Structure 1
Amino acid sequence: MNKKNKYNIFIVTVIITVTMFFSCSDNFKQVQKIGVSENEPIGIAEHINLKYTDSGRVTANLLSAKMLDYSNRDFPFNEFTGGITLYVYDEENRKSTIVSDYAIVYNNTDLIDLQGNVIITTHDGNVLKTEQLYYDQKKEWLFTNVPVTFTTKQDVIKGNGFDSNQKFTNAEVLEVTGIISLDE
């Protein structure tokens, strides 16, 4: 082999090597996604019985038949397709219950969307029924703009929306359509 052919082979080898070197990039995230469709959950949990504690005291107990984890998305969320039952305990260990057929928790906004036969029963017997209810975890605020029925010890109040803090001490039925008794 003559000197010119050796030089050409050397140049071609160098070009291929340099091209391969610069074409490589950090594709770790792409490698992680191999075999995982963006439309599929990254995890599935069944028969959930999750207890939240604060300073050794149980503050909530979440029960659900199925949860889908979509934390692999740009806007991550958890979907409870089997519905939820949530028991919330106050400082005096009094239990309130929240039930819905479906729920979705948006991780970035701390917003919970409850849908289908949403029923909240407070420890003192107040009952809220609606088809959809949102809970803002940061503001500790419940709200909806769909029809509701709010039952207290004295009244059954129907309306087209609801706003309240999480303890129901500042509850307001919007666009009231029911009959309410008033103290004079």
Structure 2
Amino acid sequence: MGLIGKNIFRFTLCVSISTTGLASCETDLKEVDRIAAIQAEEPVDISHNVTVVYSDSALVKAKMTAPEMRHYNVEKPYYEFQKGVTIILFDENGVETQRITSDYAIQKETEELTEFRRNVVITRADGSIIKTEELIHDQKANTFYNHVPIEAYFKDGRGNFMGSSFQADGNFENIEVQNSTGLYLFEDGQGPMFR
């Protein structure tokens, strides 16, 4: 091998070693970034197969069950139920008055709001069912409302209705539906009435 050949070989070897060194440094930097990203993630506590009982003056008011509950310990803390949730509400005698189920929910502690999303079903003790894709509970005002279509099916023979959105008190006794349409029956059973 001549002098030129040796110099080319040395240059190639140096370039190869430099490239390997840079790749190694790049890998190390990626690892540092990955670790930093893990540390920067929001702190979360995850609980499985959760049951929470809410009571007031030794009276059970509600019971919540969920396959998974995530509590995010951030500036504005919140609970997230990515795998769905069921909440059963009771009257002062411990009798179930209604239950709410959804495929997803988030409870915002600071805002005192709970949002139920995807396949939200409210089942009343009388068998009436309300279905929607969104339900928001304002804990301060103890009201429920939404901004998406709603369907209601009454078991007591009053009829069925649909609407573009609604608002209700905490017991779903007074429901105000916007742009409602449906079939309603007169109390004396004389016939249907459309709205």
TM bucket (normalised to shorter chain) is 0.7 to 0.9
> Paired residue for 1:107, among 100, 106, 109?
109
Residue aligning to 1:62: 64
User: What does residue range 113-152 of structure 1 map to in structure 2 within 5 Å?
Assistant: 113-152=115-154
Alignment of 1:16-165 (within 5 A): 37-71=39-73, 73-95=74-96, 96-152=98-154, 153=156, 154-165=158-169
- 35-44 vs 46-55, which moves further: 35-44
* 1:24 equivalent in structure 2: none
Deviates more, 1:121-130 or 1:98-107: 121-130
For these two proteins, the number of residue pairs brought into alignment is 150
Q: Quick check: which has more Rg, 1 or 2?
A: 2
Q: Which has the higher strand share?
A: 2
The 1:37/1:102 distance shift into structure 2, 3 A limit, reads farther
Give ranges in structure 1 of 5+ residues lacking alignment.
1-33
Query: TM-score normalized by structure 1?
Result: 0.75
Matching residue's letter, 1:50: V
How far 1:180 moved relative to its partner?
2.4
Amino acid at match of 2:80: E
Q: Following the alignment from structure 1 to structure 2, what is the Cα–Cα distance between the partners of residues 63 and 131?
A: 20
Render the CA deviation track for 1:3-33: whole Å, top value 9, x for unaligned: xxxxxxxxxxxxxxxxxxxxxxxxxxxxxxx
TM-score by length of 2: 0.71
For 1:38 and 1:123, locate their aligned partners in 2 and report how far apart those are by CA, in whole Å. 46
Q: CA deviation at 1:84?
A: 0.4
Q: Which runs of 4+ in 1 moved over 3 A?
A: 34-41
| Corresponding position of 1:5 | none
2:30 aligned partner:
none
Task: Output the amino acid matched with 1:86.
Answer: I
Read off the aligned partner of 2:48 and give its amino acid letter.
Answer: E
Is the partner of 1:179 in helix, strand or coil?
strand
Structure 1 position 35, deviation (Å): 8.9
Q: CA RMSD in A?
A: 1.9
